[in-house]
Amino acid sequence: TQTATQTHEVRMPMYLPTFKPATGCTNASDFIVRCFVARLRSGITVVKHGRSRWCKSRLRILHVHSDGRSLTWKPALGEPSSSKRPPKLDLSTCVEVRHAWSPDPLNPMFTGTPILRQKCEAPNAHKSFALVFPKRTVDITAVTADQCKVLMEGFSALCFRLQVANLAGRGQGQGGKRGKSEDGQPDDRTTTASVTLTNTT
């Protein structure tokens, strides 16, 4: 039997000129976003492929900051720690969630991303994907194919909703000053939009 949540699920058409969800990901309901953010807050262990040619692929724990939009990661237990500051990537600026088998628009003859093609072994491609940002990619191999599906669906829904919230905030007379009101103070409207997406209570 279906629960009320399932029968009243909101399926938003995931179309934005600024964001491309993973192929087959069409559901950006509150339920999916909230569940995914809750899982990210507790940490999700994956294999992350380093951007440097000399950098090994390592187990990392993906984590989202309390703002519900900033992605970071840290070494998994037993992995060498880094002296570098942990990254903080704004998921509202993600332009695509791309599976390793999806076409690379910059190299139409290839799939995935340059890092996935270089670092991800062929037997793992089915459970690998990348978060594409304007100036970098975050290239990930999940532990299982199921985890990969959950991550791609979750990131697709979360990034989509964050961008919709950004656009809604801008449309309320902010004149392109994202997150700031006319007097230069942080504007509550954009934070409210993201809080409604990440409030897990």
pLDDT at 116 over 90: yes
Q: What mean pLDDT value characterizes the chain?
A: 83
- The strand pair at 128-132 and 137-141 is best described as antiparallel
Work out the average pLDDT over 103-131.
96
Work out the average pLDDT over 125-153.
97
% of the chain with per-residue pLDDT over 70: 79
pLDDT of residue 127: 98
Record the tokens describing residue 173, joined without a space. 């007379």
All structural domains of the chain? 10-160 (2.30.29.30)
pLDDT at 1 over 90: no
5-21 per-position pLDDT tens digit: 444 455 556 778 889 99
Record the tokens describing residue 43, joined without a space. 């940490």
Work out the average pLDDT over 31-52.
94
pLDDT of residue 200: 41
pLDDT of residue 51: 85
Dihedral of CA atoms 112, 27, 44, 110 in degrees, nearest 10, equals 0
Q: What CA–CA distance (Å, rounded) separates 141 from 130?
A: 9
79-93 per-position pLDDT tens digit: 888 777 888 999 999
156-190 per-position pLDDT tens digit: 999 999 999 988 887 765 444 444 433 444 444 33
DSSP string covering 177-198: -TTB-TTSSBPHHHHHHHHHHH
Q: What CA–CA distance (Å, rounded) separates 136 from 78?
A: 27
Record the tokens describing residue 78, joined without a space. 């037993």
